[in-house]
Amino acid sequence: MKFDTLIIGGGIAGLSCALRCQQQGQKTAVLTKGQSAMHFSSGSIDVLAHLPSGELVSNPFSAITQLTQQKPQHPYAKIGAEKVKKSLHWFTEKMAQEGLNLISHHDASDEDLNHVRLTPMGLFKATWASQDTVYPFIQQNPAQGLSHITLMTFEGFRDFQPELASANLKALPQFKKVEVDCVSIEMKEFDAFSRNPCEFRSIDISNILENEEVIHSFARYMSMLVKKSTDIVVLPAVFKGKKGTQHINLLKKLTGLTICEMPTTPPSLLGIRIESALKQLYKEAGGYMLEGDEVKKGEFKEGALTGIYTKNYKDYPLLADNFVLATGSFFSHGLKANKTDIYEGVFDLDVEYNTPRKQWRADDFFPKQGHPFLAFGVKTDENFRPYYKGTLIHNLYCAGAILAHYHPVIEGSGNGVAISTGYYVAGKIINHSERS
Amino acid sequence: MVKQYETDVAIIGGGATGTGIMRDCALRGIKCILVERDDLASGTTGRNHGMLHSGARYAVTDPESAKECIQENKTLKKIARHCVEATSGLFVSLPEDDLDYQKNFIQACGQAGIEAEQLTPQEALRLEPNCNPNLIGAVRVPDGTIDPFRLTSANVLDAKEHGATLLNHTLVTGLIREQDSVKGIHCLNVLNGQAIDIYAKQVVNAGGVWGQHICEYADLSIKMFPAKGALLILDYRINNLLLNRCRKPADADILVPGDTISLIGTTSTKVPLETVDDLHVTDEEVDLLLREGTKLAPIMANTRVLRAYAGVRPLVSVDGDTSGRNISRGIVLIDHEEKDGLKGFVTITGGKLMTYRMMAEWATDLVAKKIGNSAPCTTHTQLLPGSELSLGKKVPKHTASLAKPVYESAIYRHGNRALNFLKEDKQSQAIVCECEMVTRGEIEYAIKDLNVSNMIDLRRRTRMGMGPCQGELCSYRAAGLFTEYSQRDGLQVSKLLRHFLEERWKGLKPIFWGDALSEGEFTYWIYEDLMGVGDIPPYDPNDAIKITVKQPAAQGVKNEI
């Protein structure tokens, strides 16, 4: 099998790259092993929340310039602030085409602003764009415009604990005058879960909420329990895909309440919703998905990757003019660690990391500066092309968490780097093939 | 205001020995209060192999200890049935080991009264397929495992049911002295800063390696020589029988199965007393444990390491010897009235988890005599709470709706006391910790009935967060239940959650590679990126103390120190 571009990894970086390649006329394939990191992500798009100095960012795109001054090796520095912005706006446009609206705040001169999303701990995290079913709190004063919030869960559901969230929320000075209610709904439709007490996760609830009749009954419970004076009702994310969004809207209509979703412990239905939308767009554009497969070996010749051998295709190589490696970080097995070394999991590409092992992590679990291992990754040139035993591989590109020199969690830049690097390397591949 | 108590015996230290004395006193009708600065089994008791020694390990080098072990082995199999697994153990000779040692070993076991059955390598491999196939000989002995957390908790439960009082998270700040007598102890509740005075006829120092400080309050010289022992927990149970090397006891030569995991240990390094509250397992110790452990069970080379931890053995030197040459691993019971002319004060130290009950009996005999109580010791015949059913009989399953793994795990951990929380209602059956099958009902029971003050205490009582995921999902869930069932508000519980995650992290750091690294990254993403837990102020166990020292109520305490 021969493709123009073959992308290894089906997370947000790989799929963004694939979508752009395919829409630009490349014959594209995405090879994925299993679930991507989207399955436990917030489902919001973080671009930049903190500078390395610790300073909180309000305008993410203009802060990228400051960031790249402080960290010249950062992936954003290779792309440039303008192109980062362009790639993320491209992403939100694509998502909107698939009916998934990502909302961001803007200042008076229409510059993009960060907002904050509520976490299951009742704390706030800065982000650039959230799905329109998530309430975008104002960063400077999250309580602005709110006098009454209701946190709602389902009786027996373990992955959202409103009492814990409300305590932290109420402790914020801005929320002193905001009434915070905790409501727990017990629905007979969920009785089936008593059969196996493990089966009461968001995804199980979402299966039952696919039935429209259940939404009507849900609305009745909600109307009984939620005070009419509440400004917003925050629910854990328990609605699946496109239909889920429609059902939230139906619920809003039936109750007259402003209902918002909140991402909680995995599986993250908000993250999965983005992944589904991306896949849908990509497939509509004619892209190939090679799912449940994994690369066994790559064949390198004169500084180029000529083909890969996979678990499913065995001796039959998959060929492509260009390849993209978007296999994620450690939990996605893009990067691996043995007792002494960090290595790249597919081709054993050259990796940048600290030694000895002690220096892979910080002493505290929640360190201010983040853990060093999160900034480890494949060594790349200015076009995100990696090296194999010191030699540049000129038709292989890297995108997303496999890259070195950024701290996705501490910076709040995970999805921003994934999308922009995916988009950027797609551009490089397209330009290159147009030239030749 | 200083809160005051009056009792017969005040016991310092909530390890196996202290709680054993607490139970022994209570069963003899002696009023007692136990104070523990942290939590039950949070010191040496909870930081070892959890091995139910047959005594075989000591048969050649220390016959006295070997005899004590086999006696207590038989007793604990009866009285602490739900804390014990009588797995039996193998003493394995590898090609580099001397078979002459095996001969001596079998003979020494016989002399100590320990059943020792010589097996061919083939027979040994049939019993324990993961044992090194190159073995040249094996001896089977009645070793087993014992869960120190369950054991201490059961002792406390029984003591409380016989009128005793437990004050955990309570620090001893001084002795109440009148001339040549100790009349009690000054304490401080470290959670709320409450100063407490306990007046007692006798004070028993069962503080283990920390007991030296207690003696210093009375200007008595006992010198502890803490020896650090590091251990690794493996991801699953790779052996069903204990594996020992059949040679002179050395580093990393015991592999113990326990619940859902296996443990390899231990190293032995002398450490200064000042460091025992902040022990770190070094990379060198990790490497040594893996290297030696792989010789016992080669499968270990490919097994994920779940976490690493270290404890301190309370080796003690008496009679002013500070060189450490006269160190004793045996039981040391000191009547300070006889030795130092200080009435009302007794120290029990040395020994090992295995002989805790015997140590408790000796100490209780001494204080009972001093206060004129002549009731006999019954701790070797009376069954611990949870073990009351007769041997081999199954705990009746009252509730048909209970899932089998939930039921079996609960009975495994709590014996028949599990019936206190195994209920029909589906809410109490919701699983909080999926690795260890800990239900909401079990957590409610632990918080309300088993002296649980924070999430680490909860882990010790239930195993929550101890499985392969190391608290990935259950930490948040359990924190929610804490707001429901404890007296703490959401803000305090948020700190406890952060504290718990930091505590789990401690055990991950020394073995942070492979799956431990990827799981650690996952947990970090969930709790920092998704939840923002890093914004919660860190829990400082000294918060309460700092506040109190400023208040006049604690002045008395300060003077005493």
Per-residue confidence at B549, pLDDT binned at 50, 70, 90? very low
A residues 29-48 lying closer than 8 A (beta carbon) to B:
37, 40-42
Mean pLDDT of A417-428: 98
Q: Are strands A259-262 and A232-236 parallel, antiparallel or unpaired?
A: parallel
pLDDT of residue B259: 82
Q: Do B518 and A338 touch (CB under 8 A)?
A: no
Q: Do B531 and A119 touch (CB under 8 A)?
A: yes
Please tell me which residue of chain B has the smallest CA distance to A194. Answer: B426
Look up residue A11 and give its two tokens.
């997370």
pLDDT of residue B400: 65
Q: Are strands B195-205 and B181-189 parallel, antiparallel or unpaired?
A: antiparallel
B residues 385-444 lying closer than 8 A (beta carbon) to A:
401, 403, 406, 426-427, 429-432, 434, 439-440
pLDDT of residue A181: 97
Look up residue A37 and give its two tokens.
């990191």
Cα-based torsion angle of the residue sequence B314, B319, B323, B325 in order, rounded to the nearest 10 degrees: -70
pLDDT of residue A197: 59
Q: Is the ipTM of this complex over 0.95?
A: yes
Look up residue B87 and give its two tokens.
């797995």
What does the angle CA A337 – CA A340 – CA A342 come to, to the nearest 5 degrees? 35
Contacts with A43 from chain B: Cβ below 8 Å:
none
Determine which of A48, A125, A130, A164 to mutate to test the interface with B (most B C-beta atoms within 10 Å). A164
pLDDT of residue B319: 61
A residues 111-170 lying closer than 8 A (beta carbon) to B:
119-125, 155-156, 158-159, 161, 163-168
Per-residue confidence at B402, pLDDT binned at 50, 70, 90? confident
Determine which of A116, A118, A329, A366 to mutate to test the interface with B (most B C-beta atoms within 10 Å). A366
pLDDT of residue B344: 97
Comparing C-alpha atoms, which of A261, A178, A184 is closest to residue A224? A184
Mean pLDDT of B486-505: 93
* Residues B348/B316, Cβ–Cβ less than 8 Å: no
Instruction: Identify the weakest region by mean pLDDT among A78-92, B250-264, B530-544.
Output: B530-544
Look up residue B558 and give its two tokens.
């300060």
In Å, how far is A169's CA from the nearest CA of chain B? 10
Mean pLDDT of B98-109: 96
Mean pLDDT of B210-229: 90
Is some CB atom of chain B closer than 8 A to the CB atom of A327?
no
Question: Closest partner residue to B476 among A161, A171, A196, by Cβ?
Answer: A161
Q: Are strands A377-378 and A351-352 parallel, antiparallel or unpaired?
A: antiparallel
Comparing C-alpha atoms, which of B280, B285, B352 is closest to residue B309? B280
B324 pLDDT higher than 60: no
Determine which of B530, B533, B535 to mutate to test the interface with A (most A C-beta atoms within 10 Å). B530
Q: Do B479 and A164 touch (CB under 8 A)?
A: yes
Please tell me which residue of chain A has the smallest CA distance to B437. Answer: A198
In Å, how far is B307's CA from the nearest CA of chain A? 14
In Å, how far is A335's CA from the nearest CA of chain B? 9
Cα B110 to Cα A234: distance, rounded to the nearest angstrom = 70
Cα-based torsion angle of the residue sequence B235, B238, B244, B249 in order, rounded to the nearest 10 degrees: -20
Determine which of B504, B529, B533 to mutate to test the interface with A (most A C-beta atoms within 10 Å). B529
Q: Do B525 and A123 touch (CB under 8 A)?
A: no
In Å, how far is B520's CA from the nearest CA of chain A? 9
Q: Are strands B223-234 and B269-270 parallel, antiparallel or unpaired?
A: antiparallel
Other beta carbons within 10 angstroms of residue A192's beta carbon come to 12
Per-residue confidence at B104, pLDDT binned at 50, 70, 90? very high
Q: Do B517 and A155 touch (CB under 8 A)?
A: no
pLDDT of residue B169: 95
Query: Counting beta carbons within 10 angstroms of the beta carbon of residue B274, is it exposed (0 to 12), middle (13 to 18) or buried (19 or more)?
Result: exposed
B residues 239-278 lying closer than 8 A (beta carbon) to A:
none
Q: What per-residue string of b and e applies to B46-80 under the rule 16 or more CB within 10 Å gives b?
A: bbbbbbbbbbbbbbbebeebbbbbbbbbeebbebb
Per-residue confidence at B542, pLDDT binned at 50, 70, 90? low
C-alpha of A281 from chain center: 17
Mean pLDDT of A173-180: 96
pLDDT of residue B547: 45
Q: What per-residue string of b and e applies to B463-490 under the rule 16 or more CB within 10 Å gives b?
A: bbbbbbbbbbbbbbbbbbbbbebbebeb
Contacts with A264 from chain B: Cβ below 8 Å:
530
Contacts with B432 from chain A: Cβ below 8 Å:
158
pLDDT digits (tens, 9 = 90+) for B417-451: 998 998 888 788 888 998 889 999 999 999 999 99
Mean pLDDT of B104-128: 97
Contacts with A42 from chain B: Cβ below 8 Å:
529-530
% of chain B with per-residue pLDDT over 70? 92
C-alpha of B205 from chain center: 17
Is some CB atom of chain A closer than 8 A to the CB atom of B467?
no
Contacts with A120 from chain B: Cβ below 8 Å:
476, 530-531
Q: Do A263 and B493 touch (CB under 8 A)?
A: no
Is some CB atom of chain B closer than 8 A to the CB atom of A194?
yes
Give the global pTM. 0.94
Q: Do A366 and B501 touch (CB under 8 A)?
A: yes
Give the count of Cβ contacts less than 8 A between chain A and B: 156
